[in-house]
A and B are shown apart, each in its own frame.
Chain A
Amino acid sequence: MIPLSSVADQVGGASEGEQPDGAGGGRTTDSTLQQLVEVLRAELGEAVVGSEVTGGDAWVRVDPGAWLQAAEACKRRLDMDYFCFLSGIDWLDNPDLSGEKRWDPEGTGPEDEEAAGNAGGEAGAAYSTGRAGGETRFQVLARLYSTTRHLGVTLKADLNEADPRVASWVSAYRGADWHERETWEMYGFTFDGHPGLRHLYLPGEFEGHPLRKDFPLLARELKPWPGLVDVEPIPGDEAAGDDGDAAKLAAATDEGG
């Protein structure tokens, strides 16, 4: 416990020292956030499976079994008194849903292939997951913030695809109630210990989980998005080498009617 408290004190000292009364910026530094991550590591031990600190933001990926403990640790050790949001991500790549967006007028460069991950890949392929990594299709993510230290952290946990299930945060943050209901209906995650997982937005007889990537967006199924005209060439724009792209774009948008 001794190294833990010393780290925590450092975090406290560093951020408190950086709180002038007046307006001013630049107080969330990556090193402060790094210390914050260290506190969580010390508190949760092996349960922290991944972390990342970049550009003034911190991500911590925890074991789903320690999801509630992570929230409690943040609240107790890091003064994260403010509950910001809780939601989910479905990392499944669905070219049917957003394929037209990934259509590339500049020709598919090798770096685009990599950036788009397994664009066009089938379910079951390795998912390309974002900050702090991930191994499964579904992730639950939540953000907490400290109104005294002005620090925030995004927590994530990998969920089992067959039975996405995680502990509810309602006992730690009462505001999580609605967010968990929303995530439950939109992604089909089950929150153990939630006082009542009922529909929030959707009618009671609604079937399916709309924000999952394999849930079709019917408007797009019937008709491609006509909004691509937005990238139509500007008349008189003589940007060299763009003519070929413009023709391709026009062809693509014509199809959409």
Chain B
Amino acid sequence: MTATTERQKAAYVSGQAADGRINVELEAEGMTLNLGPQHPATHGTLRIVVRLDGEQVLWAEPVCGYMHRGYEKLCEVRTYPQVTTLVNRIDWLGHFANEVPFILAAEKLMEIEAPERAQWLRTIFFEMARIANVSLFLGDMGVQLGALTPVFYAFRDREYVLNLMEAVTGGRFHPNFDRIGGLKEDLPKGWVGEARAVMGRVRSFCDQMEDLLMGNEIFDRRCRGIGVIPASVALDYGLSGANLRASGVDWDLRRDEDHPLAWKHCDWKVWTHADGDSFARYWVRLQETREAAKIVMQLLDGLPSGPIQAKVPRIIKVPAGEAWAHTENPLGEMGYYVVSKGGLGPFRVKIRSASFNNVSIIPWVLRGVFVPDVITILASLYFILGDIDR
């Protein structure tokens, strides 16, 4: 062992902690490895600093902020209808689902409710956003394990759902379609029939994924018993969505909240898994995609007629007050705490995004695991970077 001078130590520490966001000390043992910010497994620019002892992780710390866009500040200088354009880009794969809770919060403050048909259509688009979002996860999880086929199927079948969204909203990724008091437009002609066919495809896609991955020995051994999160820890960290349900917590806002959206009219099931490992998280999401297709089918069958927009003033002013609205988004609980002082725009918007909490558990869950498992655990936690950084 050669002695290290103080100057070398200082240079090393400042090099490691160049942006000051991580607390790096000169380690006596182990090796520091930067995973990201451009690693494909991180779905964007999340950087994870792991200290390794051989193949084992001693500690891990995620570093986010490479994509922080300051939406909470920007919302304060926008009018209410303009905010939906921003929030579309939080979880960019679950596009429409981001708009809904914000609109619900604004409607709560204005004490108006969208008409029945608008609520049903919102629910349909919401679940389609879930399918588009989660199906990518279902394919991507295979890629992290070296199985390339599933992700091609995922991209192919997601495209059908996105085409449907495009036919209605004009936007594949950023529909910006939800309005205070209803929706921008009604469905185009012939859309319902097409949507039924696509939902059939989604179901067969789920079966395909199950055939390809479940029961595959590599998939089983790389996922079962890996990255186990007990229910109490998951709740403590504020995990939500499929990550929480895969730890055995039977909680779904679509069922458990008194919601203006149309889930209460459907017959569907909330799936949970007792294991809390990577496999359970995959399995729960697979079932949820099936349930989403089921919900959409039922809603298409019972779609009520009528107006899609409640009567709202042309220039929307929201009365002073505070409202909290949250929904069960593809990634978990997403909520907006909106404070209004009675102007054209919100005074303060706190965005509670699911991935932020879902990722904050990484230091806990990665401690002691092996390097290859880091990738599968990260993939199974399933985050979207825009949803962490906002």
Contacts and interface: CB of A to CB of B under 8 A. Distances in A.
A201 B20 contact: no
Interface of B is mostly: loop
The winner among A174, A177, A199, A203 for most chain B CB atoms within 10 A is: A174
A231 B79 contact: yes
A143 B334 CA distance: 13
B258 A85 contact: no
Contact of A97 (B77, B108, B356): B77
B148 interface: no
Given A101-B345, A130-B339, A202-B65, A210 B360 contact: no
A167 interface: no
Contacts of A152: 324
B311 to A, nearest CB: 13
Interface residues of B, number: 68
B140 interface: no
B229 to A, nearest CB: 12
Interface string B235-259: 1111110000000010100011111
Contact size class for A? Answer: 35 or more
Interface in A202-248: 202-205, 210-211, 217, 220, 225, 227-228, 230-231, 237, 239, 242
B314 A239 contact: yes
A222 to B, nearest CB: 13
A131 B321 contact: yes
B237 A227 contact: no
A51 interface: no
Contact of A203 (B21, B81, B352): B21
Given A57-B324, A204-B20, A231-B315, 20 more contacts: A23-B264, A28-B257, A81-B235, A82-B235, A83-B236, A85-B335, A85-B357, A97-B77, A103-B344, A105-B315, A141-B350, A147-B251, A175-B357, A198-B20, A199-B65, A202-B65, A210-B73, A211-B73, A220-B77, A230-B81
Interface of A: 23-28, 55-57, 59, 81-85, 87, 89-90, 93, 97-98, 100-103, 105-106, 112, 115-117, 119, 128, 130-131, 141, 143, 147, 150, 152, 154, 173-175, 177-179, 186, 196, 198-205, 210-211, 217, 220, 225, 227-228, 230-231, 237, 239, 242
